[in-house]
Structure formats: structure tokens, C-alpha cells
Structure 1
């Protein structure tokens, strides 16, 4: 008898934990009833989905569900359950909007409207523009160094941070790419790739800020500075991917790393009186304000533009200014070293 009581207690406790962890949208009884009905009938109202046609043994009547859609839509891999959740979500949001209620989250996500199977089209477009801006900045930096600035007699570059900025450019483009992929289709794999690439970029940016601001040029010293930070970032990424994708903890880590590097850059620009310090200060202030958009989460306007989309939009001009500063820094340091040689 005691075992039965304990079993009942744990069942009830697990249910309560599940309800507490659920978002307001997917905890809605009407939403859940809609999803259950859709999975049985394959329809939400008058809209029906061909990949929800199943036989009594659970097999699809017309072959694999992804073969029942037009070729240009098969890439998105929406199955019966995800389509039911999506259209039930839209129906519930329309009903609540008619009653004057605002949007709520479903399964931890704001309700976005798809465009040709793309979950967050505005964020995807802005991530692509952000990637293009990084590529433009990195390419112009490459051309400046290898085709315009003078070199040493042994053909090596005067600028000691060339390789570090090349890695930064590649990590930045990688992060933008996976951001676009994640916002086009949110699944477990794309989410982890997006978060991991973003954390890797942030961690490396902090290392780069320390090395440049303290003018660390010796390779052994660079390794000593970078090693503990690389170990921490690697551990954090492994934690997110293999133990728990803790959004709150990840946000705290990213904010601390972001604020630390912004302060380092701002103080260094002021202390050294770098000729292009105003560009760096614009990036620092703009980056700090943009970071607030990531922290202050609000529902998407008209189902398309949310806080992250605004963040992507603000980082595009900041990226252009940052690469402009990087090129100025390369020219400034090269000129100073040439004067010392002469």
C-alpha cells in the first residue's frame, strides 16, 4: 500500500513539474485539444495535411510524408505533429487577439508566421545580410593587408594580429550561417549548432580583445592567455550540447563575456588614444544597446519581427564600422612600425 502511495505521489509531482515548465501557450487546454484532434484527423478547421494520413498500424497511406509535398518544400521536413502544433497555435492566437489578449509562448518559443516553410523569415534575411557584411569586411581587410600595405624585407606583414582577425572573420561568418539555418528551421540540431557557434565567437572575441589591448605578441604568452578561456568555452559548449541546453545559464555566460570585452575595448581605445577610437566606441555603445535587445525578449510584431530580429538589424551597421576600425588599426600599426624601422 505504501508503494502505491509513493507511486501516486511521484506521478502527480512529475505532472505538476511538467505543467510548471510548460509555456503558457502549450499549457492551454484548447490548444492541446486542437493538437490531439489534428493528429487524429489530419485537419485544423478546414486545413488538412496530406502527411497526417495514417493507417490503423500507424504507417502512412501514401508513403513517407516528405514525399507527399512539392519538391521545393521537402527540405523543411515539417511532420504531422509540427504542422498540427503550428496551425493550432495560429488559430489560438487569432482567437485570443480577437478577445484583446497578447501573444504567448508555445513550447518555449514565440508564435512566428512561416513564409515558404521558413520559421522566422526576417531573422533569416538579416542573418544573411550580417554574414554578407562580415564577408565584405574580411575581404577588404585581406586586400588591404596583402595588396596595399608594405611588407617586411622577408615578405612578412608588419601587422602582428592578422591571423587573429582572419580567425575572427571566419568564426563570425560561421555564426551568421548557423543563425540563418536555425531561424529557418528550429530543430534540436540547428539550435545547438547556432548556440555553440555563437558562444565560440563570443569567447574568441574576448581572447582577441585581451591580446590586442595588452599588445600580446609573444606566442607563448598568447597561449597562456587563451588556454584557460578556451577550456572554459569548450566546457560550456559541451555542457550545452551533451548535458542540458540551459538558456538562462547560457545567457548569463554570454552577457558576462560580452560586457567584459566591450569594457576592455572601450578602456583601451581611450587610454591609447587610438586615432580611430571613435569607431570602436560606437561599436561598444551600439553593441551594449544591442545586447539589451537580446535580454529584453518581446513577442514578434505581426508574427515576424522580434527582439532578435532587431538585434540582427543593429549589428549589420556595427559590423561595417568594426571592420573599418580593424583596417584603420592595421594601417596605423604598420605606419608606426615603419617609422621605427627608418
Structure 2
């Protein structure tokens, strides 16, 4: 009797394990991208992780464990420094090679590209994961640097200064902070799109939130012409508290991509509305530049909503969105320079 019970219990245990494994597999498939559940891709990935090769292409660093020591060699056989810098571990290269190999097969059959691990199948260029986004992010960084330097040159070398050698433009310090946050955000965008890991993702999201949040504050302060320091602090404090809390939430509780997109979208739309309303009621001589930036930015946001596979394996909707912001950034800093010059000259006329 006890023997029969033991056999029955053993069969039930095995059945439970099998059911659990099946449920786990189904949950993983449901949560994964379409490409992740492709049997050919999964088979290729399993073979690559075991052998370090995909077809005739083999990855030398697949012979290295995480400590960088060669598996079948002496301790001093270290992984090259540039590979450590890129953090191109075996799993990443296997995924990329299998993805490209699988997409070639799908293309030959006339099938559309699909996502793998939540990402479109991009083609790497010089080891860069998303080359178009990196290039456009670099251009945006360059535009902000150029805009800020030209703004500084205008303020301190071409416009009158007060007795303390400070600019008359009341929003100069706010623009300096904006420039630093903007360049910081685009720098981490370059790093993130070059190599996506948890750290670069967190830094990219956090810097973007900081920039968007501060941009919203700047739009409110400038539109309502808030010049008193105490009033500025009172206006900015609740926004700063929310943005800081959101960044802490992303970094230390849950890096929720969907929630972060909603927060960023709300901040982006809010500041565009503030600028649009102000441009509509003001008689600022350069308001047409502001209108162009507002409408251009609004249209560019549609690229974030309309997601499509990368053309030629390089240009997707997100990268094109980065591309559209390059000329808008140039025009935006042109407006800031005009605003600084107009307000400075008006102030000089009043005190004479």
C-alpha cells in the first residue's frame, strides 16, 4: 500500500513540475516579443550560447567568463580593454547574430521585421547598437553646445553689462541651467543608444525627465515673466518635488517604461501649450520662431507614437524623432538670443 502511494506521489510530483514548467514557458512567451518566441531564433540562440558560433561566425570572447579570464588558457590571457568597455558579452553577440540571421530568412520570404527582446532588429555600425539615434543625439548635443556658447557670447561680449559685470537679461541663469541639463540629457542619450544596459537606461531616462521637468518650469517662469527670486522658488518647488520623486521612483523602485513615457508626454505637452498660448498673446518680435518650435515639436512627437521597423536596419521612428529636433534646437536657441537682446535693449532704454 505504501509502495503504491509512493509511486502515485512521485507521479503527481513529476506532473506538477511539468505543469509548472509549461506555465512558466507560456508566461515567458506571452511577455516576450514576437521574435523571442520564434523557434528558429531560440534554437540558434541556444546553440550559440553553447558553442559561441552562429554559422561560420564565432565570438572569441564567448570563451571568457564574467571575470575576463580565458576558459581554456592561463590567467594572464585577458579580454581586450575595448571589449570590456563595450561590455559586449557572449549573450549579447549571440542574440544579435541570431537576430540578423533570422531576419535575413524572413526577408527572403517577404515577411516584415519583428521585435526581439522588445527592440527592432537594428544593424550595428562599429559596435554601436542604434547608429542613427546615436548620430542624431550627437547632433542635438552639438546644437545645444553651439546655441549655449553663442548665447554666452551675446550676453557677455556683445550686450551691455551692469556694474557688477552681470547680464541685464533676467532669465540668463535659468538658460544656463537649461543648457547644462540639455547637454547632459543628450550625452546620456548617446551612451544609451550606443550600448543599452540597466545603468545607461536609467541615466538616459533620469536625465530626460530632469530636462523636461526643468523646461516646463522655465516655460512658466518666462511666460508669466516671474523675475522675483522668492516667487520663482515658490513656483518651481512643487514641480521640482514631483520630478525628483519620479526620478527616485524610476531608479530605486521600478523602472517602469510605460509610466515614464506618460509622465514625459504630459510634461512635454504642458510646456508646448504654455509656450503656444504665450506666443499667441504676446507681441514678441521673434514669436514666429517660438511658433515653429512648438508646432515642430508637436509633430515630432507623433513619431514616438507611430512606431515602425527601422529602414535599412538603421532609421526607425525614434531615431527620426531625434533627427527632427536638431533644426528645432537651432531655432530655439535663436529665439533665446533674440529674447535676451530685446529685453536687454528695452531695459537700457528705460534706465537712460
TM norm structure 2: 0.90
Corresponding residue SS for 2:340: helix
Q: Which protein is bigger by CA-based radius of gyration?
A: 2
Root mean square deviation, CA, Å: 2.3
Quote the residue 1:306 is aligned against. 316
1:252 paired to 2:295: no
Alignment of 1:87-166 (within 5 A): 87-166=97-176
Q: Structure 1 residues 314 and 54, CA, compared in 2 at 3 Å: closer, same or farther?
A: closer
How many Å apart are 1:259 and its aligned residue? 0.7
Q: 1:216 aligns with which of 226, 234, 247?
A: 226
Q: Does 1:60 align with 2:71?
A: yes
The answer for unaligned runs of 5 or more in structure 2 is 1-8
TM-aligned CA distance change 1:146 to 1:189, over 3 Å:
same
Go from structure 1 to structure 2 and tell me whether the alpha carbon gap of 1:125 and 1:64 turns closer, same or farther (over 3 Å shift): farther
Contact 1:121 1:184 in 2 (8 A): yes
Residue 200 in structure 1 maps to residue 233 in structure 2: no
Equivalent residue number for residue 239 of structure 1: 249
Q: Does 2:41 align with 1:31? A: yes
In 2, Cα distance between equivalents of 1:215 and 1:138: 21
8 Å CA contact retained: 1:51, 1:80: yes
| Superposed structure 1 runs of 4+ greater than 4 Å apart | 3-14, 63-66, 71-74
Distance 2:159 2:307 in 1: 44
The Cα shift of 1:16 comes to 3.2
Q: How many residues align?
A: 338
Which residue of structure 2 lines up, in the alignment, with residue 276 of structure 1? 286
Aligned equivalents of 1:161, 1:176: Cα separation in 2: 23
Partner of 2:28: helix, strand, or coil? helix
Moved more, 276-285 or 28-37: 28-37
Q: Deviations over 1:216-254 (max 9, x none)?
A: 111111111111111111111112122222221111111
The structure-2 alpha-carbon separation of the partners of 1:234 and 1:65, relative to structure 1 and needing over 3 Å to count, comes to farther
Question: How far does residue 54 in structure 1 lie from its aligned partner after superposition?
Answer: 6.7
- 2:273 alignment counterpart: 263
Match of 2:342 among 321, 324, 332: 332
Aligned-partner Cα distance in 1 for 2:29–2:261: 24
Q: List alignment gaps of at least 5 residues for structure 1.
A: none
Structure 1 contact 50–65 (Cα < 8 Å) conserved: no
Mapped to 2, the partners of 1:106 and 1:29 lie a distance apart of 13
SS of 1:26's equivalent in the other structure is helix
SS at 1:112 equivalent = coil
Alignment partners' CA distance in 2, 1:312 and 1:264: 22
1:197-216, Cα deviation, whole Å (9 max, x unpaired): 11110000000000000111
TM-score norm. by structure 1 comes to: 0.92
* 2:238 maps to 1:228: yes
Q: Which of 290, 297, 300 is 2:300 aligned to?
A: 290
For 1:64 and 1:319, the matched residues in 2 are separated by 51
